[in-house]
Amino acid sequence: MLAAADQTVKTWQPKSALAETNEVVQPEDWAAQAEAPNSSLIVRAQTLLNELGYDAGPSNGQLGEQTRDAVKSLERRNGLEETAQVSIPLVTKLERLTR
């Protein structure tokens, strides 16, 4: 019995995590909100961008030029489409990058 357990331990391999289990998918009915993100989403994005070294300016909830430039810089460096928009998927990516 111990030999069987030892063999099981020796041959054990972890399974790969599915990317979709670690992503937040934006529901379709939130699309209108994505066009005009709320200030708390912008504040979170600004805070995380600043933590990562992108100068998004003060975390004030305003989507100004400095914040847009920081978002574009992040998108460019990560091979993403440059939209300069704050969205739930963007904040999700920022959350992952700050871990």
| pLDDT confidence tier of residue 32, bands split at 50, 70 and 90 | low
Q: What's the burial of 68, exposed, middle or buried (CB within 10 Å: 0-12/13-18/19+)?
A: middle
Handedness of CA 41, 45, 47, 48 (dihedral sign): positive
pTM of the model: 0.64
- In tens, the pLDDT along 68-92 reads 999 999 999 999 899 999 999 999 9
Domain ranges of the chain: 38-99
- In tens, the pLDDT along 50-59 reads 999 999 999 9
